[in-house]
Structure 1
């Protein structure tokens, strides 16, 4: 099968995270069934989103997972020179939302099914399609929890995020959190009658800035990453409704990205302590927090069998780390060795005129055929 044809079908599905993924799921299921597979649909707790799982080869022995997410980021506010949801070939490039991140890999997974089936696998290949990765890897955890009922414990997982087909060994973990400070509204002419939630928010903003500076100065450090330490950032601030009203609510959304060996939750906890300390006994100010998303770091696995396998299959020396996060950390946390390797480039992802190169798809197909050969060997 030709991956470009399948990629056109996938790009035509504007499947945004946080909403129903019925259209892209139906597209993937159609390709799986037409290729002769019997996929398993795994509904998420949201009731309008599903993960999809399909296996080729014996299910009672350890095999390899090929994993990719079906959702893409929005295109609003971006200046595209062609329809983002129609695959467009131009100047040797294939343009469309999700071509690099990461429907190119999904298209190759589906296009390679005839090769997988013809290989007479003695160890299985499992195709895993997840939802809501773009808003914090929310979907794949439900699929990982179902694995004991789907197959023997897998021996490894390739997450096909765009790495220009160079294997990647590790990435940082992440936790994003909403912090809310609730005060008391009043007329701005009598500010002492109210409790200004924005002032409390300002203290927390400074606390996050100070924490990030402390991490940069004191570590812990891991030179495999850039920057080589965990980070804390305030990304969204909302407070107040009018200049003549004392604001009774301030919201901050913060993010921590943590190196392996340091928990993102432990870093966030330092901010939560400062948040709680804002509220003296009997004060009108109240505070709350909510985790928005979280996934663990993927620790480096230099010298591992999986790293060696992907180096043989791609002909490229593995890269020690990347700055973006993936679902690979969740597979690793579940006891499944994981590595990142896929067509396209992260530098093109989430941008207008996202594209992938036909030769990158061809390289991915060659890697997948090589993997099938490995799993067919005695």
Structure 2
């Protein structure tokens, strides 16, 4: 029996695929669902097999197909005041509530629900479905899948990443890079500050330097930039260190990120940061040679650069009937597809305003609009 979009949204929301958990139950369900329709899918697992990407082709193995991309993981619900079970779809007042309804299981679910229509349409050019893992914590999964797709699929005409854009056409997103800096100091009693190095106080100076770099960007921001805010941002999210009030801290670490506008290189900021660290190290080492500052890059995803005349943009404009475009400050796997040579845009149902929130929802009208959009794509690829 064919499934409606609501059926599949309910099924995908029902899988607790918070990034710290496996997504294999969802992937296995999708794989079995597609196999039941006669569609073969391919898995690209992570190293220990606890997670996997999945991609599948509907239609002929021909050039000029379109990739519909979505991530399977969702953000945690810990500490959020939900009115209902986050992993049970609830319909109320023209909205579907549940974790991932907006970000971004609905797009993938709608595409899956329409696979029978894709099969019946005698596609001349294929539709490739692509589901990735660990997007929410750094876009870790998609690059391995993209690499395989480049190797194994015919040349692709366009990639549509179904992030929640209210079915608007998003041509660009910021790059996003996550870093951890660890400061090692030298413990002594706090009455003997001349004999010790406080890792907490050094980390505080470094965090302030990060803020100063962003302040420079804000002051020099291009008012014509479409991004909000219109500059590269730098932000310290967590900081941990120290043992007691009267002990100079031996260790302190903090997590920070860099979100770049188009044309800005994140490494410029990392290099400036490391150069500032180098100015602090001699004084620290003079107290103890064990002191140090180490920065690790934990994750990184390139931004999506605007390509208004690209095949993906022209296709999505035609399918939506909209000429307006926008950009977003959050990151996604769209930049990774573009980096691999694919013409890429973002367009999907739901609003980013509901993403990551308690009582996350998508309006049913957005589901209907996405169905209409994808049916238009089916028609176009059948001609």
Q: Normalising by structure 2, what TM-score?
A: 0.94
In structure 2, relative to structure 1, the CA distance for the partners of 1:257 and 1:127 (3 Å cut) is: same
Q: Distance in 1 between matches of 2:163 and 2:48?
A: 25
State the 1:277 CA deviation: 2.6
State the 1:242 CA deviation: 1.6
Q: Distance in 2 between matches of 1:153 and 1:19?
A: 34
State the 1:149 CA deviation: 3.5
**Secondary structure in 1 aligned to 2:173?**
coil
**Secondary structure in 1 aligned to 2:249?**
coil
**How many residues align structurally?**
377
Q: Distance in 1 between matches of 2:166 and 2:333?
A: 18
Alignment of 1:313 with 2:315, yes or no, is no
Q: Distance in 1 between matches of 2:321 and 2:29?
A: 32
Alignment of 1:368 with 2:374, yes or no, is yes
The correspondence for 2:356, drawn from 342, 350, 356, is 350
5+ residue gaps, structure 2: none
In structure 2, relative to structure 1, the CA distance for the partners of 1:75 and 1:357 (3 Å cut) is: same
Cα RMSD over matched residues? Answer: 1.6
Q: Distance in 1 between matches of 2:140 and 2:65?
A: 24
Contact 1:221 1:229 in 2 (8 A): no
Alignment of 1:135 with 2:170, yes or no, is no
State the 1:280 CA deviation: 1.1
The correspondence for 1:333, drawn from 339, 342, 347, is 339
**Secondary structure in 2 aligned to 1:348?**
coil
Q: Distance in 1 between matches of 2:269 and 2:61?
A: 40
Higher alpha-carbon deviation: 226-235 or 336-345: 226-235
- 1:52-103 deviation digits (Å, cap 9, x = unpaired): 0100112242311000000000000100000001001112211000000001
Q: Trace 1:1-378 onto structure 2 (pairs within 5 A).
A: 1-219=3-221, 223-280=225-282, 282-283=285-286, 284=288, 285-377=291-383
Contact 2:97 2:361 in 1 (8 A): yes
Contact 1:11 1:87 in 2 (8 A): yes
Q: Distance in 1 between matches of 2:353 and 2:346?
A: 16
- 1:129-178 deviation digits (Å, cap 9, x = unpaired): 00000001111011011113331121210000001111111111111110
- 1:262-310 deviation digits (Å, cap 9, x = unpaired): 1122222211221233211844321111112211111112233322221
Contact 2:158 2:311 in 1 (8 A): no
Q: Distance in 2 between matches of 1:108 and 1:135?
A: 24
**Secondary structure in 2 aligned to 1:364?**
helix
Higher alpha-carbon deviation: 81-90 or 192-201: 192-201
Contact 1:7 1:104 in 2 (8 A): yes
Q: Distance in 1 between matches of 2:134 and 2:363?
A: 25
Q: Distance in 1 between matches of 2:271 and 2:223?
A: 19
Q: Distance in 2 between matches of 1:101 and 1:217?
A: 33
